Amino acid sequence: MKLAMIGFGQAGGKIVDRFLDYDDRTNSGIVRAAIAVNSAKADLMGLERIPQDNRVLIGQARVKGHGVGADNELGAEIAEEDIDEVQNAIDQIPTHEVDAFLIVAGMGGGTGSGGAPVLAKHLKRIYTIPVYGLGVLPGTDEGGIYTLNAARSFQTFVREVDNLLVFDNDSWRQTGESVEGGYEQINEEIVRRFGILFGAGEVTGDQEVAESVVDSSEIINTLSGGGVSTVGYASEGVELTNGGGLLSRFTADDGGDDDLDAANTTNRITSLVRKAALGRLTLPCEIEGTERALLVLAGPSEYLNRKGIERGRKWLEEETGSMEVRGGDYPRGEPEVAAAILLSGVTNVPRIKRLQQVAIEAQDNIEDIQAESEENLEELVEDDEDELEPLF
Ligand code: GDP
């Protein structure tokens, strides 16, 4: 499906930048337009792919291009004040050619954390197409203020979008990595997972049309109903042989012993689906109780078969208890078969409960510290016997 992506704040802008790169590499055609919004000029300048004209600096009157620190209340305020500037940039893109908006933001910071929900609310008032959010949770080691920001932004963002797709940095942190190097890999993981999912609805004429290609309306229907979503993913390589054919452990329907090959493909697909659903999700959660799901099988079409997808879909129905599990193909020329599973409307998410707990503790601590420092300052400034008078 075709998306208008808006990266809000530093993380949001960088991730949309990576989506443009992914689009170029894989020819998936999902980013119809890309915009970056930030209150920090330097962050906008650091982007590589997003066109200069689509970079919007907000809050200049208040923060003079220096960002809002990690103050997401200020982030929300300046987004509201300067929403017309963001709208001006959106006015330049062909929104009639777009299936949905995707607002991307790190929820732990200031600009994106506060601004993304404000933009979602604004877009929903104006447009009839869906407005989705892709929210990134901070790592638990980032500290109390980031956790508090994320918990408050999460509550607000989820209410304002048609669906909030969540990616948890904490589950993807690798030890020994520099923060920047780590983010590069994490961002690659983000675009791979969400790229396959949204790319599935964007199969163009020159790609082989498989038996049951996923349509963008199936993605929209899976996301409709709102709530929080997570994505599972697993892939297996297939090799290109000298003759240009494909050879792999993942048996293709290449005209050999048809029954055996088909059975093998079916089994392979089924285990790939299980790996995707039971492995690492973008937001860790219990999959039982998921309201809706979409299974996308991507790969060279000779490696995809309807029976495999059907079996995978059935298994997902049993595991999630959902009556609304969709599934289909995404034929593409990459030398791998991949299963991407969108679990929409997940509610059993201990990670969010923990985040809220830590956020409440941080909030209490901040209040205590503030009260205490006011007291301490008072004690320092006032003389003991109150004999001195201030000037005015
Ligand atoms: P903002 O510019 O004020 O919106 O704040 P940032 O986007 O810089 O940071 C918000 C949060 O996003 C941080 O706390 C990190 O958890 C996360 N973050 C920052 N940069 C990246 C990135 O490149 N990738 C990912 N996945 N997360 C990031």
Which two three-digit tokens encode residue 191?
């675009």
Domain co-membership, 181 together with 86: yes
pLDDT bin (cut points 50, 70, 90) of residue 243 is very low
Domain co-membership, 55 together with 132: yes
Q: What pLDDT sits at residue 252?
A: 55
Are the C-beta atoms of 319 and 288 separated by less than 8 Å?
A: yes
Which two three-digit tokens encode residue 375?
């007291």
Domain co-membership, 148 together with 287: no
Domain co-membership, 117 together with 185: yes
Distance 329 CA to ligand 1 centre (A): 33
Single residue among 200, 220, 241 that ends a domain in this structure: 200
- Cβ–ligand 1 contact at 138 (below 6 Å): yes
User: Across residues 244-249, what is the average pLDDT?
Assistant: 49
Q: Examine residue 383 and state whether it is found in any structural domain, yes or no.
A: no
The enclosing domain of 327 has a CATH number of 3.30.1330.20
Ligand 1 atom nearest the C-alpha of 167 is 26
Which two three-digit tokens encode residue 153?
């932004």
Distance 172 CA to ligand 1 centre (A): 14
CA 376 to chain centroid: 44
pLDDT of 249 strictly over 60: no
Domain co-membership, 177 together with 245: no
Question: Whole domain around residue 256: which residue ranges?
Answer: 229-344
pLDDT of 351 strictly over 60: yes
Q: What pLDDT sits at residue 90?
A: 98
Are the C-beta atoms of 141 and 63 separated by less than 8 Å?
A: no
User: Across residues 252-260, what is the average pLDDT?
Assistant: 60
Q: What is the DSSP string of 356-390?
A: HHHHHHHHHHHHHHHHHHHHHHHHHHS-TT-----
Q: Examine residue 365 and state whether it is found in any structural domain, yes or no.
A: no
SS3 (DSSP) at 158: helix
Please state, rounded to an integer, the average pLDDT across all residues of the chain.
91
| ∠ Cα 294 8 279 (to 5°) | 35
Report d(CA 147, CA 359) in Å as an integer: 5
Report d(CA 296, CA 317) in Å as an integer: 14
Report d(CA 112, CA 58) in Å as an integer: 11
- Cβ–ligand 1 contact at 108 (below 6 Å): yes
Domain co-membership, 241 together with 176: no
Count: domains in the chain: 2
Does the annotation place 201 within a ligand binding site? no
For 195, list phi and psi in degrees, rounded to 5: -65, -45
Helix (H) or strand (E) holding 352: helix 350-381
pLDDT of 85 strictly over 90: yes
Q: Examine residue 246 and state whether it is found in any structural domain, yes or no.
A: yes
Domain co-membership, 243 together with 112: no
ipTM of the complex: 0.99
Domain co-membership, 150 together with 44: yes
**How many CB atoms are closer than 10 A to CB 352?**
23
Short-list 202, 205, 232, 234, CA closest to 219: 202
- Cβ–ligand 1 contact at 7 (below 6 Å): no
